[in-house]
Amino acid sequence: MIPFNVPPFTGKELAYVKQAVDNHKICGDGPFTKKCHAWIKDRFGAPGALLTTSGTTALEMATILSGLQKGDEVILPSFTFSSTATAVVLTGATPVFSDIRPDTMNLDESRIEDAITDKTKAIMAVHYAGVACDMDPILDIAARHGLKVIEDAAQGVMSTYKGRALGTIGDFGCFSFHETKNYSMGEGGALLIKDPENIEKAEILREKGTNRSVFLRGQVDKYTWVDYGSSYLPSDMNAAYLWAQLEMADQINENRLATWNYYHESFKDLAKEGRLVLPTIPENCVHNAHMYYVKLKDLEERTAFISYLKSRGILSVFHYVPLHSAPAGLRFGRFHGEDRYTTSESNRLARLPLYYNMDRKDTDAVIEAVHDFFRQ
């Protein structure tokens, strides 16, 4: 069987985890966490960066720090992972789903303004497949209506929009380091913070409502409970695991891009014949090869495609069931405007195996099976 995903592994992870254990520093904010923070800030030009226990908890920190409250509304796509919406719902705010563009599967920036009411407080831009939303119009709408912008860049680590790193463009950016993402620590994530004023607030929220971070920097002589908070910091063992991958971020990125580009070239014939629709990368976007997907004619053809690949020993998967049609989506949110693309395009989409160090002969086997599907 060719798996759909293999978690990235570079070879240095165990040595670094052992070092964390030998340091007797396995709680949060130890030496490896500090290395990861410094790397993220430096590499992406983020004023603030904090590792979190998941992409989901990074999103929760972002919605809390955005000041969302019961009765507020947040605009987001329905074509996303449940975490984007649960982070809104946990604050008591209402997710308002807006339609996507069929080319990138990202929020259609031209539909957003119509969904704004006097209760709207934020826009969540999900960079699907590590390909950026069109952020300039989104920032412009947000500025004109006084809204916060939260980037769900769970899939977008190392991608850029007009030269700016995803996660650093809005008020808050959320990375995921789950094992299915490009860089991993098992479960983990990071919150990127633009406004320096929010950095200390984020540190307090992440450290059980205490000012322990300023205490550790020697800026106050004792630490105390100062605000609401929770515990969002991961163990330094997990950060050690991640560090091995951040050190090799460029190699991992290039390796994934090589597989992505190889798929893309190999399916151009099928796209030309109108059998498949391939992903679009807008001109001002540099992506990170988080995923390779193709679009079939409809749900029926996609079902046949996935089961044909399975018969050839290849695991291909679909996602997402649009959130507005899920039981919790019906309960907590609403779809604004017409669902022109969200449901129909998500029904057509199938993801192909793609992971760090994918064997060329496995990639060839996938490419051959996809061609054979259309020959049968």
Ligand X SMILES: *Cc1c(COP(=O)(O)O)cnc(C)c1O
The footprint of ligand X (CB under 6 A) covers 54-56, 80-81, 83-84, 126, 152, 154-155, 176, 178, 189
260, two tokens? 């992505």
Which is closer to ligand X, CB of 84 or CB of 259? 84
Q: How far is the CB of 63 from ligand X (least distance, A)?
A: 12
Q: How far is the CB of 36 from ligand X (least distance, A)?
A: 15
Q: How far is the CB of 156 from ligand X (least distance, A)?
A: 9
Which is closer to ligand X, CB of 341 or CB of 374? 341
* 3 state SS of 148: strand
Which is closer to ligand X, CB of 79 or CB of 263? 79
End-to-end C-alpha distance for the chain, whole angstroms: 21
Which is closer to ligand X, CB of 150 or CB of 370? 150
Distance CA 138, CA 82 (A): 22
Residue 59 CB partners (closer than 8 Å, separation 6+): 83, 84, 86, 87, 150, 152, 174
**Which residues make beta-bridge pairs with 293?**
351
Which is closer to ligand X, CB of 267 or CB of 293? 293
For tokens 């254990």, the residue is: 21
For tokens 């406004």, the residue is: 195
For tokens 């106050």, the residue is: 220
Which is closer to ligand X, CB of 172 or CB of 373? 172
* 3 state SS of 224: coil
H/E element, 142:
helix 135-145
**Cα 180-182-186 angle, rounded to 5 deg:** 50
Contact 124, 76 (CB under 8 A): yes
Q: How far is the CB of 76 from ligand X (least distance, A)?
A: 10
* HSE-up (13 A, CA, CB side) for residue 90: 16
Q: How far is the CB of 357 from ligand X (least distance, A)?
A: 21
How many Å is the Cα radius of gyration of the chain? 21
Q: How far is the CB of 149 from ligand X (least distance, A)?
A: 16
Distance CA 282, CA 116 (A): 26
Which is closer to ligand X, CB of 37 or CB of 290? 290
Q: What are phi and psi of 358, to 5 degrees?
A: -65, 130
Q: How far is the CB of 324 from ligand X (least distance, A)?
A: 16
Nearest Cα residue to 123 out of 68, 41, 176: 68
Q: How far is the CB of 115 from ligand X (least distance, A)?
A: 19
The residue whose Cβ lies closest to ligand X is 55
Which is closer to ligand X, CB of 185 or CB of 369? 185
Distance CA 273, CA 278 (A): 12
Neighbours of 304 (CB within 10 A): 14
Which is closer to ligand X, CB of 53 or CB of 211? 53
245, two tokens? 């991958």
